[in-house]
């Protein structure tokens, strides 16, 4: 069954589109964190960013840059959060890769829900080695 995003893209469910292209669409989130909260969604349905076709990923940078500029211009916000919840354990609610562009203002009371922790040099070295091996 197609995801809710695929159904919005197909017109089966209404969406408030900001822009569309061959590979990406952007529409307003119906449960926004802030006014102007936009979802950037690939037309190709895939559960994770890594599963998207290369040509879709190649178009991501230019679309994201233009969309963040549009969100800033339309809302007057000085900054945005660009959030990717890539998998259910990361908070992804719709199994269709997507990015959230959330307008941010000083004193808006919003927080990104990540908690940082101190890491030892040894643990950083070990993780660096694991990631480098996975990259190869």
Could you tell me the CATH superfamily of domain 4-135?
A: HIT-like (3.30.428.10)
What residue ranges in the chain does DSSP mark as E strands? Answer: 17-20, 24-28, 38-42, 79-83, 99-104
Closest CA to 24 of 87, 80, 49: 49
For 102-119, what is each residue's pLDDT tens digit?
999 999 988 887 778 899
Which two structure tokens, joined as six digits, stand for 105? 């203002």
d(CA 136, CA 131): 9
The residue-averaged pLDDT of 20-30 equals 97
Return the ∠ at Cα 98 (arms to 21 and 33), rounded to 5°. 110
Could you tell me how many residues make up the chain? Answer: 136
Q: Which helix (H) or strand (E) holds 103?
A: strand 99-104
So what's the pLDDT on residue 99?
Answer: 98
- pLDDT of residue 2 exceeding 90, the answer is yes
For 28-87, what is each residue's pLDDT tens digit?
999 999 999 999 999 999 999 999 999 999 999 999 999 999 999 999 999 999 999 999
List, by residue number, the catalytic residues. 98
């Amino acid at each position: 069954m197609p995801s809710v995003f695929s159904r919005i893209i197909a017109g089966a469910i209404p969406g408030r589109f900001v822009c569309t292209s061959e590979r990406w669409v952007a529409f307003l989130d119906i449960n926004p964190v802030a006014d102007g909260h936009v979802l950037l969604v690939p037309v190709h349905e895939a559960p994770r960013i890594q599963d998207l076709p290369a040509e879709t990923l190649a178009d991501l940078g230019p679309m994201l840059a233009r969309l963040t500029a549009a969100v800033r211009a339309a809302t007057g916000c000085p900054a945005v959060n660009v959030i990717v919840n890539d998998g259910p354990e990361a908070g992804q609610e719709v199994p269709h890769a997507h990015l959230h562009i959330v307008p941010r203002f000083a004193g808006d009371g919003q927080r990104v829900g990540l908690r940082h922790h101190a890491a030892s040099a040894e643990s950083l070295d070990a993780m660096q080695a694991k990631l480098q091996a996975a990259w190869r």
